Amino acid sequence: MAENNKTAAAGAVPPKPKAAAPGAAKPAPSKPAPSNTAPASGGVYKPPVDRPDPNPYKETRVSDLTAWFQERFYVLVPVIDYLKKKEVPKHRLSFWYYFGGLALFFFMIQIVTGLLLLQYYKPTEAEAFASFVFIQQHVPYGWLIRQIHAWSANLMALMAFIHMFSTFFMKSYRKPRELMWVSGFLLLVLTLGFGFTGYLLPWNELAFFATQVGTEVPKVAPGGAFLVSILRGGEEVSGETLTRMFSLHVVLLPGLLMLVLSAHLMLVQVLGTSAPIGYKGTGMIKGYEKFFPTFLAKDAIGWMIGFALLVYLAWAFPWHIGIKADPLTPAPVGIKPEWYFWAQFQLLKDLKFEGGELLAIISLTVGGIVWMLVPFFDRQASKEEKSPAFTIFGLLVLAFLLINTFRVYLEYGW
Ligand code: HEM
């Protein structure tokens, strides 16, 4: 088994950290266990008299301040112990372990800068564009915050893609990490949802028509027209659409993403970091480093580099705000979505025959579901055996995304 975490084994639940500490009160073995549910005479509930010590850690040697917190949050002590025990394997592919943390970092940047933008942004058809101009031109450092938000969104999506393919090719999704993969896939979908809903918020011409094209796509599928009217808040893209995109962008998607992210990170901590198949016991692992503080400190160095890059990009390559959307003018030529939808966009363009769009939608949906469930199909990897067929599958998916994205770039430019 390839886990670093010495407690974790394939399919096995890691043993609980020792709960007993010096001085912990033990329940008397001879007495019958008290029932929590049986009502006392007269139907009045009485709590059991003989209970084990609720805080088995109270006698451990800690500073006064730590003791104060420990008395209140002692249930977290085993969790912290667990974090201290977690180790990350060192090998020639260890570099790829940093990309999940980088995606997380850019997400945190999004929350902070998003909250700052919210102080001035006005999500109405009449005011949205003007509020963006105001942020760019009059709010102190508003231009920087807006540019960082826009760039960080792109970098977060890029990091999530790199992280997904690196975990795919290392087969980190194999048993018992299937749900890490599934939750990660949902994170990617939510990240793309952020990009899609955020695109319209400046209410500029490009975003307006791109949203019109993007929200049109599901129409060809059965029940799609209903979905389109829900997304748009009517037949056409309008101020109603802006309200919907705004509420999705600042309420629903952040809430969902944080929920799924908590599950993802909890699984990462509980199951530990995996090593590629065949690395363990063959001398390819050059030791382990403690997650806390060694790996985390290296993560932090990556984050600082990421932040420096972000500020440079925001300063040197600003995203232009364009001109205000006018629904009555015809769509300008060269309308395209953001780069992370280019591959799908190109497929829709390629299948421009009768029923082609529906075929593209079905292929993308089925392909996405298969990709999400890949850990359950790859039986060989779960048995710690190499699975070249899945590596080829991953390479084909990557090639599809890269080639189609490049084709859109060639046709439309950046
Ligand atoms: C917002 C997006 C995401 C964030 C913030 C995130 C965060 C993280 C972090 C911090 C780790 C631990 C360090 C590492 O191995 O890089 C991790 C591990 C992992 N993530 Fe993600 N992740 C995201 C998206 C994804 C996606 C899209 C997938 C795949 C579909 C995925 C699958 C995994 C797997 C399988 C692991 C375990 C790696 C191992 O044990 O070797 N994650 N994630």
Q: Where are the domains of the chain?
A: 96-332
Task: Read off the pLDDT band of 312 (50, 70, 90).
Answer: very high
For residues 177-190, give the mean pLDDT.
Answer: 98
- The answer to whether the Cα torsion of 23, 29, 32, 35 is positive or negative is positive
CA of 284 to the centre of ligand 1 (A): 22
> What is the predicted pLDDT for the residue at 74?
83
What are the b/e assignments for 249-266, b being 16+ CB within 10 Å?
bbeebbebbeebbebbee
Q: What share of the chain is helix, strand, coil (3-state, %, to 5)?
A: 60, 0, 35
Task: Read off the pLDDT band of 21 (50, 70, 90).
Answer: very low
Token readout for 306 is: 């990421």
Tell whether the model's pLDDT for residue 12 goes beyond 80: no
Tell whether the model's pLDDT for residue 28 goes beyond 50: no
Which atom from ligand 1 is nearest to the alpha carbon of 188? 27
Measured by CA distance, the residue closest to atom 17 of ligand 1 is 100
Q: Is 217 in the pocket of ligand 1 (CB under 6 A)?
A: no
- Residue 122, Cβ neighbours under 10 Å: how many? 14
Helices then strands, counting H and E runs in the chain, come out as 16, 2
User: Is residue 145 a contact partner of residue 135, using CB atoms and an 8 Å limit?
Assistant: yes
**Reported pTM:** 0.86
User: Is residue 338 a contact partner of residue 155, using CB atoms and an 8 Å limit?
Assistant: no
Q: Is 321 in the pocket of ligand 1 (CB under 6 A)?
A: no
What is the pLDDT of the chain when averaged over all its residues? Answer: 88
CA of 336 to the centre of ligand 1 (A): 29
> What is the predicted pLDDT for the residue at 325?
94
For residues 326-354, give the mean pLDDT.
Answer: 92
Token readout for 369 is: 């579901």
Question: Rounded CA gap, 116 and 250, in Å?
Answer: 12
Q: Which residue has the tokens 């420096």?
A: 308
For residues 167-172, give the mean pLDDT.
Answer: 98
Task: Read off the pLDDT band of 78 (50, 70, 90).
Answer: confident
Q: Could you tell me which CATH number the domain at 96-332 has? A: 1.20.810.10
For residues 25-37, give the mean pLDDT.
Answer: 46
Task: Read off the pLDDT band of 46 (50, 70, 90).
Answer: confident
User: Is residue 171 a contact partner of residue 277, using CB atoms and an 8 Å limit?
Assistant: yes
Measuring CA to CA, which residue among 371, 189, 192, 187 is closest to residue 265?
187
- Residue 410, Cβ neighbours under 10 Å: how many? 8
Mutate to test the pocket of ligand 1, among 94, 99, 165, 187 (most ligand atoms within 8 A of CB): 187
Task: Read off the pLDDT band of 6 (50, 70, 90).
Answer: very low
Q: What is the CA radius of gyration of the chain?
A: 26
Token readout for 206 is: 């490009």
Q: Is 188 in the pocket of ligand 1 (CB under 6 A)?
A: yes
CA of 8 to the centre of ligand 1 (A): 18
